[in-house]
């Protein structure tokens, strides 16, 4: 960041005017989302907001509405940085409307394993693709006057014991794979960065001077603010010495008073350690006019002399800004990320030729819109595959006969019950929460809050009455339940603390003495407790949960936040005859001309806080797919997941469409692709293995949860690199995706050579022609071979690595010549000093020689091999 002379004077003067206590206070949040303020010096709070899939605002659940964009892995599947930048524009604009200065996104970690619970946030398994998507995302966000936050620095790629896992990663792997996207992103000048939860080679990221100070700041020259992940500041002294600037959230535990006392003891230097961090924070505050007198009237002052920047004042409130343009961009991004994996002349559908259409599957009416945890948002609206497919089909053919069957139940938890639960005396959906002092529920109600569903999550400061914060307290969640069908219902309760579930004052579940942890409430909640009760349709029942707030019985971990949150979750599900459901689905398939079968993971089976343990889809899903495919030869299987899944039925399906998690436009995007309104052009940003044993991470992921030790034993052979090195055939390769049209790529040539510096590049030219009958897009990919010196130095080497790509859209018969640039970065490798030969001095190397480059449409579909000279 660069500033005018006047701004520098103001920043330096403010730094001098601050007391030591004020400096240490500034270096931590005052609450869940805001930094501290110093009124006497005109220092105002900076507001942050999650997150990668939409701008949540200050409330974790039931907050203001926002645009729910496709998840990160779906954005990566577009292979279209310009489209991702437009999505970033939406996020930046909506962050401003919600009064946020910094959006806590993008997530830049790698999908190292298909089992990673947070893979939905990532941009895939390849560091170059991740870097390119990140650059576009950050550029879009920051163009709207909002700061982006590149996270999580670094190697936050698993959820198992994520607060304590000690990950052993050799330096070459760390630099070539996991650090690379962050290094690439620096060209956008991201205003902030966030450290990761796990330990890397013995030290938590926020305490690692090697990672934060030596690499990020000194080697790469990063001058922006570095904050901890929430509850992830692990040391007072080591963190500030590593130059981690800001502890989040507040109030402070390891900075604040603790940091001031460390300075007074001589463990930390005020001038050398504290002041630089405070100055970086003041510079960020200056960007947003949060330092000194607000300058509302002078448009020229909005950047406060900073260059570059349109970092204008943001509003204090949280407004909603749903626009036709953002809806259209989100729909485009959602459909462009969908990957067509197989098509035996089934797609696109033409409703005019279909008399009976069967829509089957648990995700057809209840799709997974996005991930959990930091990715939870309250969308302006939702669309479902069932609704959107039905609407599109009937627009073309009003007489089409459409049937629906769910087939199987796949959620591990019964769904929330807000649709038939209302607050007492109001008729408004949700529950009323009454707060009490102490643990006996025998005093006056201190305060009351309302929640929109049977899920109460006291995460933010505003969720708990001020007078109760830091004390022993309890609460009752009350609602009026009115079922629509008579029969037996399964009720479930998951909670932190000591909770009891009542219906009409009858105790149904006593979960006060639980000991087994689940993934609920960020790994701090109980496993589900179940009970069955018969209810009558139309009758009202008083549902109540009493919860005493006490810490959960979790295995000790280093996080300072999540064991303090409190919540209850009540689910309810009509007790179905699952065998009958299954048979009805197969019968519907047998009776239909065409079947659309929508299956996949959900927020129970793929979530932040826990890792998957199997490639398989949820219970009985594979069985359902095979049975439906046996009953009908024209079955389009639409799958939803954030990473690879097994497909034992792949040969049986007529078509396979992988749809990720597309946010609020999920249903519309799927329907647009199935009926040919959009020609699919998504490409896989991850490799799908035939079996998990084929995947490079299998032997080492997730590590040992008992000892909190993990080894990244596959090294640089992440994803497709491992499959190539082992000569193993994947189910679907990285970069793969079909289209409704066809393409040819001809006239391929190389111009120029690559120099050892950034100033000399080679260009691969190719002419792409749409040889089919409809407009479509192709992604041309170039992979580079490794230096021969890598093997000579005793390292493992990937046979090829993605070096550049370009997406081109063409009308039928149209041709376009594209240029694919190769610079020295495509051929460099890191010579780990721990393994370097005595005469070798340089760490990063670009070795001269002739390299083979592979041009194709996936990592396995190579059209031409070319020789590129590196001087």
* pLDDT tens digits for range 184-206: 999 999 999 999 999 999 999 99
| Contact yes or no for 472/512 (Cβ under 8 A) | no
Contact 565, 521 (CB under 8 A): yes
13: Cβ–Cβ under 8 A, 6 or more apart, which residues? none
- What's residue 292's pLDDT? 85
Q: How many angstroms separate the CA atoms of 37 and 573, rounded?
A: 47
Residue ranges of domains in the chain: 418-574, 741-870
| Residue whose entry in the numeric block shows the structure tokens 């295995």 | 555
Between CA 286 and CA 224 the distance in angstroms is 13
- Among 382-391, 512-521, 784-793, the range of highest mean pLDDT: 382-391
Q: Where are the beta strands (DSSP E) in 498-625?
A: 498-503, 506-511, 517-518, 525-526, 529-535, 541-548, 566-574, 594-600
The phi, psi pair for 193, rounded to 5°, reads -140, 155
3-state secondary structure 728-785: CCCCECCCCCECCCCEEEEEEEEECCECCCCCCCEEEEEEEEECCCCCEEEEEEEEEC
| Tokens 């790629």 belong to residue | 157
pLDDT at 63: 84
- 683 Cβ partners below 8 Å, 6+ apart? 77, 79, 339, 735, 736, 737, 779, 858
Helix or strand or coil: residue 500? strand
Does pLDDT of 542 surpass 70? yes
* Residue 304, pLDDT score: 34
Buried (b) or exposed (e) across 508-526, using 16+ Cβ within 10 A? bbebeebeebbbbbbbbbb
In tens, the pLDDT along 441-466 reads: 988 999 999 999 999 999 877 789 99
Q: Does domain 418-574 have CATH number 3.90.1150.110?
A: no
- Helix axis angle, 666-674 relative to 385-396, nearest 10°? 40
Which one has a higher pLDDT value, 69 or 306? 69
- Higher-confidence residue of 523 and 174: namely 174
Q: What is the pLDDT of residue 519?
A: 82
What are the pLDDT digits (tens) for 156-194?
Answer: 999 999 999 999 999 999 999 999 999 999 999 999 999
The 3 state secondary structure assigned to 233-284 is CCCCHHHHHCCCCEECCCCCCCCCHHHHHHHHCCCCCHHHHHHHHHHHHHHH
Predicted confidence (pLDDT) at residue 783 exceeds the cutoff of 90: yes
DSSP 440: S
pLDDT at position 757, please? 59
For residues 128 and 801, is the Cβ–Cβ distance under 8 A?
yes
Q: What is the average per-residue pLDDT within 90-109?
A: 97
Q: What is the pLDDT of residue 160?
A: 94
Condensed to tens digits (0 to 9), the pLDDT of residues 637-675 reads: 999 999 999 999 999 999 999 999 999 999 999 999 999
Residues 710 and 166: their CA atoms lie apart, in Å, by 6
Report the pLDDT value the prediction gives residue 5, as an integer from 0 to 100. 84
Top-tier CATH class for 741-870:
mainly beta
The residues facing 572 across adjacent strands are 491
Report the SS3 class of residue 127: helix
- Sheet of 48-49, strand order: 48-49, 102-103, 147-153, 192-195, 225-227
Q: Which residues contact 326 (CB under 8 A, 6 or more apart)?
A: 67, 90, 93, 94
Distances (CA, A) of 741 to 347, 350, 770, 857: 11, 16, 7, 14
What is the arrangement of strands in the sheet containing 849-856, beginning at the earlier edge strand? 801-810, 776-784, 849-856, 862-870
Task: Write out pLDDT tens, residues 288-325.
Answer: 999 987 665 333 333 333 333 333 333 347 888 899 99
Give the Cα-Cα-Cα angle 703, 707, 713 (nearest 5 degrees).
30
Q: What are phi and psi of 573, to 5 degrees?
A: -145, 130
Token pair 């931590």 in the structure block, residue = 28
Per-residue pLDDT band at 836 (split at 50, 70, 90): low
| Residue 575 CB partners (closer than 8 Å, separation 6+) | 487, 488, 489, 490, 532
pLDDT mean across residues, the chain: 94
Cα Rg, the chain, nearest whole Å: 27
> Could you tell me which of 803, 706, 781 has the C-alpha nearest to residue 736?
781
With bands split at pLDDT 50, 70 and 90, how would you rate the model's confidence at 6? confident
Mean pLDDT of all residues in 571-598: 97
Return the residue matching tokens 């926002």. 66
The pLDDT, as a whole number, for residue 504 is 97
Q: Enter the pTM of the model.
A: 0.95
Residue whose tokens read 């060209």: 187
Does the pLDDT value for residue 216 go beyond 70?
yes
Distance (Å, whole) CA 569 – CA 554: 18
pLDDT of 313: 36
Q: Which residues are tagged catalytic? A: 229
């Amino acid at each position: 960041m660069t500033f005018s002379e006047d701004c520098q004077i103001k920043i330096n003067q403010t730094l001098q005017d601050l007391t030591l206590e004020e400096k240490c206070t500034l270096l931590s949040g005052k609450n869940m989302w805001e930094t501290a303020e110093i009124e006497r010096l005109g220092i105002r709070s900076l507001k942050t907001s999650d997150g990668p899939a939409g701008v949540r605002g200050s409330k974790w659940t039931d907050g203001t509405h926002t645009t729910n964009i496709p998840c990160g892995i779906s954005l990566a599947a577009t292979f279209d940085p310009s489209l991702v930048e437009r999505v970033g524009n939406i996020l930046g604009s909506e962050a401003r409307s919600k009064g946020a200065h910094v959006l806590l996104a993008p997530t830049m970690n790698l999908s190292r394993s298909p089992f990673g619970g947070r893979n939905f946030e990532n941009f895939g398994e390849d560091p170059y693709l991740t870097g390119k998507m990140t650059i576009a995302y950050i550029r879009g966000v920051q163009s709207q006057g909002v700061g982006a936050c590149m996270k999580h620095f670094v190697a936050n790629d698993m959820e198992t014991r994520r607060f304590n896992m000690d990950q052993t990663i050799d330096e070459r792997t760390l630099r070539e794979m996991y650090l690379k996207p962050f290094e690439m992103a620096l060209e956008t000048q991201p205003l902030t960065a966030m450290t990761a939860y796990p330990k890397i080679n013995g030290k938590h990221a926020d305490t690692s001077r090697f990672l934060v100070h030596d690499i990020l700041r000194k080697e790469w020259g990063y001058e922006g603010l570095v904050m901890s992940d929430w509850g992830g500041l692990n040391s007072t002294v080591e963190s500030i010495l590593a130059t981690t600037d800001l502890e989040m959230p507040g109030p402070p535990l390891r900075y604040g008073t603790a940091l001031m006392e460390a300075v007074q003891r001589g463990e930390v230097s005020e001038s050398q350690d504290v002041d630089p961090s405070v100055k970086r924070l003041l510079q960020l505050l200056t960007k947003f006019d949060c330092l000194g007198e607000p300058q509302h009237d002078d448009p020229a002052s909005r950047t406060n002399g900073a260059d570059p920047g349109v970092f204008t004042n943001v509003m204090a409130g949280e407004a909603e800004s749903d626009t036709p343009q953002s809806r259209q961009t989100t729909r485009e991004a959602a459909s462009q990320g969908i990957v067509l994996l197989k098509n035996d002349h089934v797609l696109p559908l033409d409703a005019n030729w279909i008399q009976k259409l069967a829509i089957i599957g648990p995700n057809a009416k209840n799709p997974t819109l996005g991930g959990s945890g930091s990715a939870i948002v309250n969308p302006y609206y939702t669309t479902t595959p069932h609704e959107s497919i039905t609407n599109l089909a009937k627009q073309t053919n009003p007489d089409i006969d459409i049937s629906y069957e769910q087939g199987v139940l796949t959620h591990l938890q019964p769904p929330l019950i807000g649709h038939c639960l209302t607050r007492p005396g109001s008729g408004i959906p949700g529950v009323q929460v009454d707060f009490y002092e102490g643990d006996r529920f025998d005093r006056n109600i201190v305060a009351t809050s309302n929640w929109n569903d049977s899920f109460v999550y006291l995460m933010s400061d505003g969720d708990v009455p001020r007078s109760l914060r830091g004390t022993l307290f309890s609460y009752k969640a009350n609602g009026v339940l009115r079922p629509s069908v008579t029969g037996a219902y399964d009720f479930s309760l998951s909670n932190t603390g000591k909770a009891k579930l009542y219906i009409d004052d009858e105790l149904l579940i006593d979960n006060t003495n639980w000991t087994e942890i689940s993934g609920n409430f960020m790994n701090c909640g109980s496993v589900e407790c179940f009970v069955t009760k018969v209810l009558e349709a139309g009758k009202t029942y008083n549902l109540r949960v009493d919860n005493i707030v006490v810490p959960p019985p979790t295995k000790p971990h280093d996080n300072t936040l999540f064991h303090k949150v409190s919540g209850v979750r009540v689910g309810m599900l009509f007790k179905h005859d699952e065998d009958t459901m299954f048979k009805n689905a197969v019968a519907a398939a047998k009776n239909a001309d065409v079947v659309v079968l929508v299956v996949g993971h959900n927020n129970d089976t793929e979530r932040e806080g826990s890792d998957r343990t199997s490639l398989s889809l949820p219970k009985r899903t594979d069985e359902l797919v095979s049975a439906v495919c046996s009953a009908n030869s024209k079955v389009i299987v639409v799958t939803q997941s954030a990473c690879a899944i097994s497909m034992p039925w792949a040969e049986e399906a007529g078509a396979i469409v992988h749809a990720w998690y597309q946010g609020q436009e999920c249903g519309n995007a799927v329907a647009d692709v199935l009926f040919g309104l959009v020609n699919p052009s998504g490409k896989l940003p991850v490799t799908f293995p035939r079996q998990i044993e084929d995947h490079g991470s299998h032997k080492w992921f997730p590590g040992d949860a008992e000892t909190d030790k993990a080894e990244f034993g596959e090294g640089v052979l992440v994803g497709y690199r491992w499959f190539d090195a082992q000569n193993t055939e994947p189910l679907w390769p990285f970069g793969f995706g079909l289209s409704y049209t066809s393409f040819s790529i001809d006239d391929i040539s190389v111009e120029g050579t690559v120099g050892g510096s950034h100033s000399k590049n080679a260009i691969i030219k190719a002419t792409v022609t749409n040889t089919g009958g409809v407009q479509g897009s192709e992604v041309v990919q170039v992979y580079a071979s490794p230096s021969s010196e890598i093997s000579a130095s005793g390292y493992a080497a990937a046979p090829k690595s993605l070096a550049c790509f370009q997406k081109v859209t063409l009308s039928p018969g149209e041709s376009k010549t594209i240029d694919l640039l190769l610079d020295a970065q495509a051929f460099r490798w890191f010579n780990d000093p721990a393994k370097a030969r005595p005469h070798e001095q340089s760490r990063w190397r670009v070795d001269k020689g002739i390299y083979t480059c592979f041009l194709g449409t996936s990592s396995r579909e190579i059209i031409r091999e070319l020789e590129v000279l590196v001087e």
